[in-house]
Structure 1
Amino acid sequence: MVGITGIGSGIDINSIVSAMVSAEKAPKEAQLARLEKASTTKFSALGQLKGALSEFQTAMKDLNSLTLFEKRSATSSNTGALTASASKTALAGSYQMTVERLASSSKVATAALASDFAASADGKLTVKLGAADAGVEVDIAAGDTLVQIRDKLNTALKDKGITANVINNPADGKSRLVLNAKETGTGKDISIETADAGLTSLALDGSIQSAGDGAGYLQQAADAEFTIDGLALKSPSNTVSGAIPEVTLTLAGKTEADKPLTLTVDQDKTGVTANIKKFVEAYNKLISTANQLTSVTPVGEGKAPVTGGLVGDATVRTLLGAVRNELVNPAEQEGVRVLADLGITTQKDGTLKIDDTKLGKALSDNFDAVGTFFTGDTGLMSRVDKRIDGYIQTGGVLEQRMKGLQTTITGIDKQKEDLTRRVAQMQARLFAQFNAMDALVGRLNDTSARLTQALGSLPGVVKQDG
């Protein structure tokens, strides 16, 4: 609107110009809105399809792994007492095991001392871990308190895996220096030796148990004791390698009397099963996504149906057709040739369903055949991947289509700007034209009024009352 218009002619110029501008603008706006909605909907739909394809490709990559089929599982029936892991060369087998005791490390204490104990003279303490150990010498100065001695021991023994602390007894005010070793196993007892009279109260023999306030061990270093199929075994550590070739045992607790646990070493069927199920779930998500994006849903008589963003799209049909063809294409091998041999079948809606019993039997009876069916250059996963890679790779079909739609959407924004500019120019032009007309009509009306007045004043003119 340009100021107050229509004064001269009495015409509603604003309404006329608004109607003419709308008549010019509305069809183009509606066209651009339809194109923008269609392009945005299709762009979003292609993004959803690409996401489902990427997830499917990831699941196939995880299943197309020779390492997955080379893995061995070591399963304990009592993980509170023992866990285990196995290398890919471990032989399958089942073992009855008991854990009689865990390997322990040395914990020792000096004799009880006055809380204000201090070294009476300079000297040395030699701390050993086992009788054959050369030991570590720690210099002690006259006047050093138990806390200062503790700190010196910790500094000197940190690389030996021995730590020291001071324990105080509130009942009698006495204190004891307590040392803990990290290393386990029989013969790894801590001892403290000294040749200096002022430090003899700190000496201790880690092979003698502490009694009362006397020096000695609180916990003696000992080997783990366990059995495998009735054979009694020992280990200086709770992590045992070599007792069963290529299997590492981790002892965690004692088993109950007459209740041995079972350790089963086998091919990693659990891991393979999980990856097969992940593949099926990703495929089903792809099919469900494609069905949703290509569906036409009636919403009632006289109403337009709700349609997916890729209804009638040839790309989806071609892609899914290629994938399905590979899924039913039999492998050239014995044992497992098609998915149905694994209990994986196609349902009416196109998704896959797993018969767990049949899959478990196939893994037990034909584990190696399952591996060659899925993996390798000619395996199912590689063949399907080649079918979809051209669609989702960088610069692939879907990316190119999405870029084209993005260009269209950007072009629509520019067309909207151009339309706004043209409409503004048209509106300004119309107002200028109508205002010029209005001014002319106003002047003509003024002239007409003056002529009428002048003619009415002429002699002989008879005025007629209205």
Structure 2
Amino acid sequence: MAIGGIQTGINSGLPIGELVTAMVNAEKAPKEAQLARLSSSTTVKLTGLGKLNTALGEFQTALKDLNSPALFEKRTATSSNTSALTATAGKTASAGSYQVEVKSLASASKVATQALDGNFKSGGSDEVLSVKLGDSGTAVDVKITAGSDLASIRDQLNSALKDKGVSVSTINDPATGKSRLVFSGNETGDGKDVIVSGSGDLAALSVDGRTKLDPADTQGAGYIVQATNAQFSIDGLVLSSPTNTVKGAIADVDFDLLATTESNKPLTLKVGEDNAGVKAGIKKFVEAYNKLINTTNDLTRVTKVGEDGTPLVGGLVGDSTVRNLVGGVRNELVNPVGGDGVRVLADLGITTQKDGTLKIEDTKLDAALKDNFDAVGSFFLGDTGLMKRLDGQVTAYSQTGGILSQRMSALQSTDADIKKQTEDLKVRVDSMQKRLLAQFNAMDSLVGQLNGTSSQLQNTLSNLPGVVRKNS
């Protein structure tokens, strides 16, 4: 037979292998088919519930994002000329439009010492350079090592002035061989001029940041750039700021001055609600809802395919869980809420299509956000808002230990039981196969013994006196 390596019984001539295989298959086929059908059904349902749970999770995330007061409190500040001004607005900023003209930017002080010969060196060890920003600034006294050249003086100053708001560099004139020290402040605004005073030989490096450097004087000291405030106007009102980052000129609006505008050609700064951000949140909600509906449609659809119209059945066809979930969500969508202006989704240009998904009419939504922004917020937000009510409908299904979780756990248990029954069936079939082989082999051996006995008996009888043998 095939299983034991013997095709046919030696003594009986019976096809033992085929007989055992047929008997084993007849025993296991019904149970095997039943388990296969149950396994397939369980897997399909488990996969379907997994897809539904994923879509439901994305839907709840969109509900949470849109049910955020911060989203509706956010304000935007939009500049018509972002190369000259950019701005941000806080939640208490009042909506409005402003004409802003940037006349000059705030600047930091940059001063140059007089030009000195390349062989200049400091004198005695008690010589000091004092550096400060403005008359009211705190002076930093830097003791310079005796005999230091300009490069060494520069390095000593930079070491001492580190984190003090001033840096020092050297500028050399190739034509004359003379050099200057250039002091650069990092603080803008009126009165932040760099002032340097020296003692002894270092007095030659003194410079007053309030004195302008004469371009015609190639030797003198003075400022290259004077520290000044930014000058700008809002709706014709002239204002100034010590920095190019302006705070408080417009309540809860900050803006950065980046460049000057053309004379008498102000830019427009608009402050208002974050319509674009809210619209993006609404679109995300609609997309997540449509994905949920498309998922449930796919899972409950029966489609005829092929020439014979064989039905292709979704994994959760006729499932009451899906039906109850979708029904509860749709009921909330059409349930009016709120006051004047926005009571249902249709007031926002959001309507239901034939397949149950939602469609947005952008023009109507934009108009609602522009004209009824607060009403839109009231419609979506709060304990009675649409987002909270929709979340209440789906939480029972999606939460840990909820309806979907319980059903998936039950199906996983069923799947585990199917696998155990399959293993048990295999053990039982193997045992049956061994038993049948043993029985058939014993029968074949018995047939062999009976054949041997028959031959012996025939030989004995044929040798008895008076027995006539037939010629073969």
TM-score (norm 2): 0.89
Question: Of 209, 229, 233, which residue of structure 2 is paired with 1:227?
Answer: 233
Distance 1:161 1:403, change over 3 A: farther
Question: Which string of whole-angstrom CA distances, capped at 9 and with x for unpartnered residues, describes residues 350-401 of structure 1?
Answer: 1111222222222222222221111111111111111111111111111111
SS of 2:326 mapped into structure 1: helix
Question: Of 37, 57, 61, which residue of structure 2 is paired with 1:58?
Answer: 61
Matched residue, 1:34: 37
Distance 1:121 1:304, change over 3 A: farther
Task: Indicate if the aligned counterparts of 2:338 and 2:378 stay in contact, CA closer than 8 A.
Answer: no
Matched, 1:194 2:198: yes
Matched, 1:139 2:143: yes
Task: Name whichever of 383-392 and 9-18 sits farther off.
Answer: 9-18
Matched, 1:2 2:8: no
Matched, 1:317 2:327: no
Aligned-residue offset at 1:443:
2.1
Aligned-residue offset at 1:291:
1.0
Distance 1:449 1:114, change over 3 A: farther
Matched, 1:374 2:380: yes
Task: Name whichever of 151-160 and 426-435 sits farther off.
Answer: 151-160
CA distance in 2, matches of 1:355, 1:260: 36
Matched, 1:451 2:457: yes
Task: Indicate if the aligned counterparts of 1:210 and 1:218 stay in contact, CA closer than 8 A.
Answer: no
Aligned-residue offset at 1:147:
5.8
SS of 2:343 mapped into structure 1: coil
CA distance in 1, matches of 2:444, 2:115: 117
RMSD: 2.7
SS of 1:298 mapped into structure 2: strand
Question: Which string of whole-angstrom CA distances, capped at 9 and with x for unpartnered residues, describes residues 165-208 of structure 1?
Answer: 556778887765444332222322223322142x3454433333
Once the two structures are superposed, the pairs formed by residues 36-435 of structure 1 within 5 Å of their partners are 36-110=39-113, 119-122=122-125, 123-144=127-148, 149-165=153-169, 177-197=181-201, 199-207=202-210, 208-209=212-213, 211=215, 212=218, 215-302=221-308, 304-435=310-441
User: What runs of 5+ residues in structure 2 fail to find an aligned partner?
Assistant: none
CA distance in 2, matches of 1:448, 1:215: 140
Aligned-residue offset at 1:225:
2.0
CA distance in 1, matches of 2:376, 2:138: 57
Aligned-residue offset at 1:315:
0.9
Distance 1:114 1:46, change over 3 A: farther
Task: Name whichever of 14-23 and 139-148 sits farther off.
Answer: 139-148
Aligned-residue offset at 1:332:
4.5
User: What runs of 5+ residues in structure 1 fail to find an aligned partner?
Assistant: none
Task: Indicate if the aligned counterparts of 2:11 and 2:444 stay in contact, CA closer than 8 A.
Answer: yes
TM-score (norm 1): 0.90
Matched residue, 1:21: 24
SS of 2:248 mapped into structure 1: strand
Task: Name whichever of 89-98 and 218-227 sits farther off.
Answer: 218-227
Task: Name whichever of 398-407 and 432-441 sits farther off.
Answer: 432-441
How high is the sequence identity, in percent, across the aligned residues? 61
* Letter in structure 1 aligned against 2:298: Q
* Letter in structure 2 aligned against 1:98: E
* Letter in structure 2 aligned against 1:102: L
* Letter in structure 2 aligned against 1:356: D
CA distance in 2, matches of 1:172, 1:443: 131
